[in-house]
Structure 1
């Protein structure tokens, strides 16, 4: 059913839903557009509407080939909407859900595109604050790049900042997606451009491995890992690419590259990963929720969805399993200090049994039995060899030898 958005736009059908609102396929004076209609409770917040209008100039002025441009902002009654370019394609999360992981060349090309878009935004003083696969669109009508990758565009600029109003997030709250949050955000510091670099490096790791480096389990555990643990190596990628990922996942923001540097370095590495197949690794196990939940938070009942469990008592989990604006309590210093193991969950070689699983225990027992059997056989073989050697010595002895070897008679 068609719906009027302001005086210039008409929304025709829903393209997708998120925690902040609904994206519609729409029509404007200049042709097809995408319209992000924010939730009604956001539209009724006068403080947020004021911030929305204040951000208008910055958002409308952000234009780059790898950024989904905002054409207009509409404030009309209960409607609060961003009118954006329509990208004919899909989002990166959908691609990941289908393929699980990408070939390194395609992954590097996509992330290089996004880094270029971030560089333009940061130069304009805009921090995205919610970089993740859901907010990366692949233009299926654009020319194919390295590894067969479609051009990538970053979308939803400004939404995190709009939602993150002082009324909603005081110093004790975090707005964001747990898997992609930089350590300084977890510790309650204000977001700078470096948080986007950390999130984008997390996306690159996920495109290569099929899982995020610090995700899994209760969000409290995820937040703690960002602060206390180092990233586990990914087997099978060139060392130059790995060192780049490690640098951009540094705990200290000043150690990370700038977006422009990251984009340039990634493009330099493209020949090094050309033709490489996707990595053959399995996701590490997630520790039991009871062991990982923040001490002051009850463990959620039932299966845990990554990023979906809010840490604020009484808050409602969103539909998405990696919610754009999950509201979380900032963990205390004692919570962040607990449970550190030095290195985050280590990826397993594909097909290897999970540590502690029945299959792993059975394999361990088989190895022990095999080693025990081998030891017995070796001991038996050594005994037989000794007996044969002794028999040979006895057979070769002369009568005199035998006489000389006999005990002396009294």
Structure 2
């Protein structure tokens, strides 16, 4: 069913839905367009409408081949809409869901395109604030790049900034999608260009590994990991590429590369990555987390249902609701107190592991260790008996200076579940 958007545009077909609104395939004076129609409650917020009008020049002025351009802003009655270039293809999240992880050359080529987009935005004084696979569109009709990578374009500039501005009561909240939020945002600092570089490095990690470096479990726990844990290395990629990712995931914003530097350094890596297959690693098992106020949405403890780790980056915006199909998930979360984040980076995030290998500390890992110790104990006892010293082992058992190798029937108190 078609509908008019202002006096110049007609929306014909819904392309997707998100937390901020609905994207339509539309038609304008210059041909097909994509129209992002914001929710009615947002359109009714006169303060928000005023901010959109104030930002109109910046939104329309961001012109770059790797940016989905904003052509017009429509404010008409109950309609508030962004008219954008139409990109015929899919988004990066959809491709990840289909393939799980990408070949390194493809992943790096896509990331370099997005870094180019960010460099242009940062030069214009614009911080995206919500870089994630859902906001990266792949133009499948344009000539392919290295490794067959489709050109990538970044979309939704300004949406997070405008909708979640401090004047809407969110000044003490974290704005962003938990898996991609930079640690300084979690600590309540204002967003600078470096937060986009951190988020993009997280996206690159996800394209290579199939999961984000700090994701999994309750959203509050994800935010905490950004601040307190070090990123675990990815096995199977060139060291120089890993060093780039590691630098851009630094806790200190000043230690990260600028977007323009990242784009150039990534493109230097492309020839060496030709022919490398996707990594063959397992995602770390989710660790048990406690649910508390730290991960609350809008001040309400988010504890009724567990977080679904099967869809990375998906966070319901309404308590108890299911995530929408497009995973347009930028959210507002309380900024944690200093006592919750004290100590800085003091651990290492869950490390990727070889295919089929148990995670260190998991029940499978403890069981394997227990079996290994029992085998060692049985072997040592048999050897000792063969040497005629079995009686000495029996007498020594329980005395000061217990044998280093336990008997098969001993229990290790450290292995208590």
TM-score after normalising by structure 2: 0.86
Helix, strand or coil at the partner of 2:93: helix
More displaced stretch, 217-226 vs 192-201: 217-226
Shift of 1:309: 5.0
1:365 pairs with 2:392 = no
Alignment equivalent of 2:354, drawn from 333, 339, 349: 349
1:288 pairs with 2:288 = yes
Shift of 1:326: 1.0
Q: What are structure 1's unaligned runs of at least 5 residues?
A: 385-410
CA distance in 2, matches of 1:291, 1:341: 21
Helix, strand or coil at the partner of 2:160: helix
Shift of 1:349: 1.5
Shift of 1:170: 3.5
Helix, strand or coil at the partner of 2:262: helix
Task: Tell me if structure 1 keeps the 8 A contact 2:22–2:39.
Answer: yes
1:202 pairs with 2:202 = yes
Instruction: Report what 1:173 is aligned to.
Output: 173
Shift of 1:316: 6.7
Task: Tell me if structure 1 keeps the 8 A contact 2:316–2:329.
Answer: no
CA distance in 1, matches of 2:291, 2:306: 15
Shift of 1:197: 0.4
Instruction: Report what 1:2 is aligned to.
Output: 2
Helix, strand or coil at the partner of 1:137: strand
CA distance in 1, matches of 2:43, 2:207: 35
Shift of 1:188: 1.1
Deviations 1:49-80 (A, max 9, x none): 01101111111111111111111111111111
Q: What are structure 2's unaligned runs of at least 5 residues?
A: 390-417
Larger Rg: 1
Task: Tell me if structure 2 keeps the 8 A contact 1:308–1:317.
Answer: no
Shift of 1:291: 6.8
CA distance in 2, matches of 1:152, 1:175: 24
Helix, strand or coil at the partner of 1:113: helix
CA distance in 2, matches of 1:367, 1:320: 46
CA distance in 1, matches of 2:338, 2:344: 12
Instruction: Report what 1:329 is aligned to.
Output: 334
CA 1:309–1:211: 2 relative to 1, 3 Å? same
Instruction: Report what 1:108 is aligned to.
Output: 108
CA 1:317–1:184: 2 relative to 1, 3 Å? farther
Shift of 1:223: 1.1
Shift of 1:310: 7.2
Instruction: Report what 1:69 is aligned to.
Output: 69
TM-score after normalising by structure 1: 0.87
Deviations 1:220-270 (A, max 9, x none): 111111111111111111111111111111111111111110000000011
Shift of 1:361: 3.8
Deviations 1:21-51 (A, max 9, x none): 1111111111111110011111001111011
More displaced stretch, 55-64 vs 299-308: 299-308
Helix, strand or coil at the partner of 2:290: helix
Shift of 1:320: 5.9
CA distance in 1, matches of 2:174, 2:90: 28
Deviations 1:180-217 (A, max 9, x none): 11111111111111111010000001111111111111
CA 1:145–1:381: 2 relative to 1, 3 Å? farther
CA distance in 2, matches of 1:92, 1:271: 22
Instruction: Report what 2:415 is aligned to.
Output: none
CA 1:354–1:343: 2 relative to 1, 3 Å? closer
Shift of 1:99: 0.8
